[in-house]
Amino acid sequence: MREITYRQALNEALAEEIARDPNVFLIGEEVAEYNGAYKVSQGLLDKFGPQRIIDTPISENGFAGLGIGAAMVGLRPIVEFMTFSFSFVAFDQVVNNAPNMLTMSGGQFNIPITFRGPNGPAHQLGATHSHATECLYANVPGLKICTPATPRDAKGLLKTAVRDNNPVLVLESELLYSHKGMVEEESEELLIPLGEAEVKQEGSDVTIICYAQTLALALAAAETLAKENINAEVIDLRSIKPLDWKTVFNSIKKTHRVVIAEQDRPWCGVGAEIAYRIQREIFDELDAPVQRVSQEDVPMPYNEALEKAVLPSAEKIVAAVKKICS
């Protein structure tokens, strides 16, 4: 094992999959000559050339559609959106075409395409660059959604996504690109299945369910709670769709209390679905109502203090836990 950044882990995943399979290529804005807007594709143009690492015009609808067409004829495109807020320009391609082609063609066309890039709020990017898109895309049958929160998960999930025969969205985070973590050596194959959550910290008093940016907040909250003799179990979903209900339910059966921490807004969010499934499947295991910590239901402010007030935080998670553990 060695310590590398989230950005480097993604770069390794891209390089390994492009080298492994001649049908894999990367396409998007500034992925080649500029080495990626966030330097995730650093060095890939020099290594693989312009037929495998392809710069595009600023036309998300166009290059997303090109990727879907390429997938229909047997290639495995990796389409980078500079931010998933820009994927809305390609909404018709991602929502209407990629996930429906298999069914509408009567099984004739698989679409092995990966859409990847930063998702969710970063730091003072304003309302139109801060969307957390997971609940929108998770609503679409035929799309798979993963949300890596650590370098190891970023590498393992991206490699798995590229090999999947269906459209997969790898929702990264701009705020995590420089974060470091332990990852297997490059000589070791690392594949993490979609739909397998991971218990990042064992606990007995309350389950904190989180993903993406909220993992760090949940772990910080758990550390604070431990000083007050509240033992929190932290579950990183890693995959929004498919979602690992077995791991979630087993944890709640042990702790009997749950807080859901999500980076998205509350209305129709991922946390709403999780809360519904918990009360439907294991209601009798609960000793307190399910709590949710999310963004506030407002457009993202640019002002730093207002942005902080809108976003989920470790302090908000601590408060939610105390509410049900008192």
- Exposure string for 210-241, b = 16+ CB within 10 A, e = fewer: bbbbbbbbbbebbeebeeeebebbbbbbbbbb
- How many CB atoms are closer than 10 A to CB 290? 22
Catalytic residue among 17, 29, 129, 307: 129
Instruction: Round to whole Å and give the CA distance between 116 and 111.
Output: 15
Catalytic residue among 16, 60, 198, 233: 60
Instruction: Round to whole Å and give the CA distance between 245 and 222.
Output: 22
- Exposure string for 56-73, b = 16+ CB within 10 A, e = fewer: beeebeebbbbbbebbbe
Q: Does residue 129 have an active-site annotation?
A: yes
Tokens of 124: 């003072």
The answer to whether 244 and 141 are in contact (CB under 8 A) is no
Q: Does residue 60 have an active-site annotation?
A: yes
The answer to whether 260 and 234 are in contact (CB under 8 A) is no
Rg (CA), the chain: 20
Among all residues, which ones are annotated catalytic?
A: 60, 129
